[in-house]
Homo-oligomer: A and B are copies of this chain.
């Protein structure tokens, strides 16, 4: 298995900033080998939802995706954000092709069980169709995934973009030596949350357990890293967490996770 694959997930906040998005897409376009981009949606969906008079519904502080919110997600993530990223990548010489989980039946999901909370049209992933995506990669397409999946029976779902990225990485690790990059605002996992320069360069399973015990990894970082180690335990070669500068070849100031 000699072919490498890079899967890059960029968060919603990075997409809001037009200049930063350009910069990220420039770096992504320059990456060698097969690659996939996964993007979140950012505040645009909330903005459009508000303009359309759709109130964000919350239960116990968690967002609910009702039928109208799903329509907005499909319009904004699947349409506006996805097509603009595809057009910009094409301008940078990358043969991007926009995808949801329905396209090419690439990510099949089921509606999240309604207990204890009914999240509405939120999908939990069953399976990634590696064959179809591998066909696209081998034909030198660069898939750009938005955070939508489907149930194979005509229903689309909202699905967390971090999950989409890790499931894709797991599903494709049979065919590729896969590295998963999570781009966000910080330079990586920090030893001291108040010190941006305290990036922990390498975390393996043992160190991970220790950092969780010491509560260095806590709050929002916990599910994120849990997701990363889940991917590593399922044949993904490595996971990198940091800001977009980690996509540069020369960069080393980010957190690298291995088993």
Binding site for B on A (CB under 8 A): 48, 51-53, 71, 74-80, 82-84, 86-88, 90-91, 95-100, 102-105, 132, 135-136, 139, 141, 148, 150, 152-156
Contact residues in B for A96 (Cβ distance below 8 Å): 102-104
User: Which residue in B74, B88, B150, B154 is a CB contact (below 8 Å) of A79?
Assistant: B74
Considering only CB atoms, which chain B residue lies closest to A51 in the complex?
B52
Chain B residues with CB under 8 A of A102:
83, 86-87, 90, 96, 98
Question: Which of B77, B84, B95, B99 touches A156 (beta carbons < 8 Å)?
Answer: B84
A91 to B154, CA, bound (A): 5
| Closest chain B CB from A52 CB (angstroms) | 5
CB distance A156 to B76 under 8 Å?
no
> With a CB–CB cut-off of 8 A, which chain B residues contact A97?
97, 99, 103-104
CA gap between A104 and B105 in the complex, in Å? 18
Known: A75-B48, A90-B150. A83 touches B100 (CB 8 A): yes
CB distance from A16 to the nearest CB of B (A): 15
Instruction: Out of B52, B82, B132, B153, name the residue touching A52 (CB < 8 Å).
Output: B52
Q: Give the docked Cα–Cα distance between A100 and B78 (Å).
A: 12
Contacts of A77 in B (CB 8 A): 79
Q: Which of B79, B80, B95, B154 is close to A104, meaning CB atoms less than 8 Å apart?
A: B95
Taking a contact as CB atoms under 8 Å apart, the answer to whether B152 and A91 are in contact is yes
Q: CA–CA, A148 to B82, complex, Å?
A: 13
Cα A136 to Cα B150 in complex, Å, equals 21
Chain B nearest CB from A155 CB (Å) reads 7
Asked whether A88 and B154 contact (CB < 8 A) given A79-B75, A83-B148, A97-B104, the answer is yes
